[in-house]
Structure 1
Amino acid sequence: MTFQLIAERLGQEKFLARSLHRDYRYVPGAVTDPGALVSFDTLNGLIATHRLEVPRLRLSAGGEMVPQHRYAVPVTTRRHTIWQRTHPAELHQRLAEGASLVIDSIDELHEPVAGLAQHLESWLRTHVQVNAYASWSAREGFGTHWDDHDVIVVQVEGSKHWRIFGPTRIAPMHHDTSQPEPPPEQPIADLVLEPGDVLYLPRGWWHAVAADQGVRSLHLTCGLTPHTGADLLGWLSEMLRATEQVRADLPLHAGSDAQHAYIRSLREHLVAALEEPGLLERFATARDAEDLGRLRPALPHLDGVPADPDLCVRLTTGRARLTSAADGEGAVVVRFTAAGQEVDFAPSVEPLLRRLLGGGWASLAELAAAAELTVADAAMVVGELVDAQAATVRGGLW
């Protein structure tokens, strides 16, 4: 797919070591065919066929949300429910006046963008939400602002003018103790993104965005969920519930000596846990295992996956993991962890699983050939993954 060069063009390991969470990165022409990801026809189809309401579909102008009644009308169904249907003429008028159109989590609605998100999740080991932004004027839809998550931007159509000011508070959070200071008057970078260009921006970096010279623009913003020290401590506190010391009642009514002794003991427990080798890797692995991805049914296959060589399979999450483990009898197995589930397989199945970890759709025939299995055996393996919500299928090759 067109997006699979993004990690390479951003710099792979060099990007992780030098840019991620540290500095912006601009790569012209990183995506060769951005229109394969999304288009204005895609937006038209999603708006026409889905009941997209605020905040899933919203308009913004000058940093303020446009009231929904200015571009949608209430519709009462025969079951007496009410929803807001987008009114095309009013929508066009608001956009012509300078509003920007946003579709949140378009990765949950459009298959190619889901593939982009899973590709980034597999590389960066974090959940990715992709929003689509469209604008038709040089008016800034969101004003000068910062985000509480890193972003990777893919310019799809038209051009977008980005003014980047840098951070005034390092790594601000959604729920923070204070707000960043205002940005400086002059930007540190002044860029115009053209179709296929990619921009990475760490969280907390002030920026202002507008369609360049009023030409229509469409871009995707991939938001990367941050993993902070607060997240690590929260996860660690759950792990420490296994210890009697952490489960014990606080000595709120004891004397000062007893309270000091308790705090000292608790601190020792926490320090010992923080000093365990491989703690961050265990945290990352646990977060990967919990990620449900984009769950998708495998209809009409309710009782297993048929041995159809043309049936196609893909994982529902980009953060699945494959490790060697021992089963209850001490035999070595290949353990597949994804979507909150663990499934053990014979080592001979590993090539099939690694093909799925590579991303995208694969036919049962391709998976069977990768592991030198019969199509029927490959279907049984896939069936276990489908039962674990870690994979889905679709009929035939596209």
Structure 2
Amino acid sequence: MVQWKWAVVTQVVLWLTRFIEVSFMVISQVLGTLSVADFLRDYWQKKPVLIRQGVPGFESPLSPEELAGLACEEDVPARLILESAGARPWTLRHGPFTEADFTSLPEDGYSLLITDCEKLIPDLMNLVQHFRFVPDWRIDDLMISYAPPGGSVGAHIDEYDVFLLQGMGRRKWMIEYPPKHSDFVPDLDIRLLQEFEPTEEWILEPGDMLYLPPGVPHHGVAVDHCMTYSIGFRAPLLHELAAGVTDRLITDMDQAARYGDPDLQVPANPGALDASSRAKLRAILQSVLDQDDAVLDRFIAETLTERPLDHAGFYPQNDPLDAKALRDEIAHSGDTLMRTPAARLLLVEYESDSAGGALAVDGQSTLLNAETLPLARLLVSQVFYDAAELLAATESEAAAELLQKLYADGVVQWQPNLLSV
């Protein structure tokens, strides 16, 4: 049984101000000897691939005790999944947890999982940013899990792409590919497969990584006390994308406009929607959708960057600074800014218009001009910003005001003192 070092855990809870710093190794690659082009061509959304030493020499920057300490914090998305005999073989518990929750755990048969870890600990973006060969709007979060020997969350299917990076200890991964089974065990707290027939299995050591496209049944079992770093991706549900765009189109309509029919003729059947009325109504609806590409692109970007309701707590309360004071702080303090990991930013830019576009941030967009476009390009191209580049991009008043607004909204924040980037 893990002897949770509660002196350490308590210390973590006390100094965790939701933005703790972690010691990070220098990361130069995340696909090992596999090139990004080969990975995207041969594997992305197509088939699984095991990448030995995808991150060579990777070591978990968090200990199990620190992960447990984080799970004791309010509003941290932590879960304990326990396996046991009996009528309900799997149990799901949600945090925040206490010392008693951990000291009363069995020797095996459980897993601790925390999602959105990079939003809780911004230093962890040092890892996540290396997966930006996939666009930002497809990256979801970093989940970190711990399990003692034999610990597992059962055989299951994810609806999203995921990289499973081993951070500590060893874990045996089994997959069923091509997939055969998709029925779930009824009446469980978690969605586990009724049947699972592994076709391949591997033991992953620190630095090894398994990529799985959506829908591949898989089952991971801890060989040792182990930690796994799961970089998960998201894809918009098409009906939600359509709803988000049409909601914005409707908002842009004249809210007082009504249907009119001054050319009304006596209907052959009052209870029928006649051909003339149908054609007129179709034309009205088609005119709503028949927008300039720039308008639709901006509304698509706004929809793709909408902030989930439960992410509000991931944004910092930055000290109030006006635009000039913010630039002065960047210029003279030795500190600089980074993108807040929870913030969602997308730039819409057209090759034919080098002085315009739109910056979508958390569901809203700002139209850009020649003064603000360079700043927007910088903000979306990087995660950790260079002070000199920020100052150069905010020499105009308009750009300085845009950066100040994003700072006031918590979209950007002061960088922690990274040991390695």
TM-score, reference length from structure 1:
0.69
- Taking only the aligned residue pairs, the percentage that are identical comes to 20
Change (3 A) 1:26 1:266: farther
Q: Secondary structure at the match of 2:134?
A: helix
Specify the alignment match of 1:128 in structure 2: 140
8 Å Cα contact 1:363/1:397 also seen in 2: no
Q: Tell me the number of residue pairs that the alignment of Structure 1 and Structure 2 aligns.
A: 360
* AA partner of residue 238 (structure 2): G
1:220 aligns with 2:222: no
Mapped to 1, the partners of 2:370 and 2:253 lie a distance apart of 36
Change (3 A) 1:287 1:37: farther
8 Å Cα contact 1:3/1:116 also seen in 2: yes
Deviations 1:304-345 (A, max 9, x none): 4151321211122575233458xxxx9934643322343456
Mapped to 2, the partners of 1:99 and 1:384 lie a distance apart of 44
Determine which of 344, 355, 359 is the counterpart of 1:332: 355
1:297 aligns with 2:316: yes
Determine which of 210, 221, 226 is the counterpart of 1:210: 221
| 1:105, distance to aligned residue in structure 2 (A) | 2.5
Change (3 A) 1:180 1:52: closer
Deviations 1:248-296 (A, max 9, x none): 8xxxx97355499759965996799699989996775333443477753
Determine which of 109, 112, 116 is the counterpart of 1:98: 109
8 Å Cα contact 1:21/1:203 also seen in 2: yes
Determine which of 31, 36, 40 is the counterpart of 2:55: 31
Determine which of 341, 345, 351 is the counterpart of 1:320: 345
Change (3 A) 1:104 1:231: same
* AA partner of residue 228 (structure 2): H
1:360 aligns with 2:383: yes
Residues 136-147 of structure 1 aligned to structure 2 (within 5 Å): 136-139=148-151, 141-147=152-158
Change (3 A) 1:331 1:94: closer
Mapped to 1, the partners of 2:277 and 2:369 lie a distance apart of 51
Deviations 1:20-77 (A, max 9, x none): 33211221111235336433253144245x2367x62323326612567xxx9xxxxx
Specify the alignment match of 2:3 in structure 1: none
| 1:301, distance to aligned residue in structure 2 (A) | 3.2
Residues 157-306 of structure 1 aligned to structure 2 (within 5 Å): 157-166=168-177, 167-168=179-180, 183=195, 185=197, 187-212=198-223, 215-235=224-244, 237-238=246-247, 241=250, 255=271, 258=274, 262=278, 285-291=301-307, 295-297=314-316, 299-304=318-323, 305-306=326-327
Deviations 1:68-118 (A, max 9, x none): 7xxx9xxxxxxxxxxx65125x52452513211122322332223345446
Mapped to 2, the partners of 1:17 and 1:29 lie a distance apart of 20
| 1:394, distance to aligned residue in structure 2 (A) | 4.6
Change (3 A) 1:271 1:340: closer
Change (3 A) 1:183 1:332: same
Change (3 A) 1:23 1:383: same
Determine which of 65, 71, 76 is the counterpart of 2:91: 65
8 Å Cα contact 1:320/1:337 also seen in 2: yes
Change (3 A) 1:271 1:233: farther
Specify the alignment match of 1:56 in structure 2: 78
8 Å Cα contact 1:122/1:319 also seen in 2: no
- Tell me which protein shows more helix as a share of its residues: 1
Mapped to 1, the partners of 2:139 and 2:276 lie a distance apart of 41
* AA partner of residue 316 (structure 2): P
Specify the alignment match of 1:176 in structure 2: none
Q: Secondary structure at the match of 1:286?
A: helix
* AA partner of residue 219 (structure 1): T
Coordinate RMSD, CA, aligned: 4.8
Mapped to 2, the partners of 1:313 and 1:193 lie a distance apart of 36
8 Å Cα contact 2:173/2:203 also seen in 1: yes
Moved more, 9-18 or 125-134: 9-18
Mapped to 2, the partners of 1:395 and 1:377 lie a distance apart of 27
| 1:385, distance to aligned residue in structure 2 (A) | 2.8
Moved more, 148-157 or 7-16: 7-16
8 Å Cα contact 1:10/1:25 also seen in 2: no
TM-score, reference length from structure 2:
0.66
Task: Return 5+ residue gaps in structure 1 as ranges.
Answer: 73-83, 173-178
1:311 aligns with 2:322: no
- Tell me which protein shows more strand as a share of its residues: 1
Change (3 A) 1:134 1:85: closer
Mapped to 2, the partners of 1:180 and 1:268 lie a distance apart of 47
Residues 109-120 of structure 1 aligned to structure 2 (within 5 Å): 109-117=120-128, 120=131
Q: Secondary structure at the match of 1:190?
A: strand
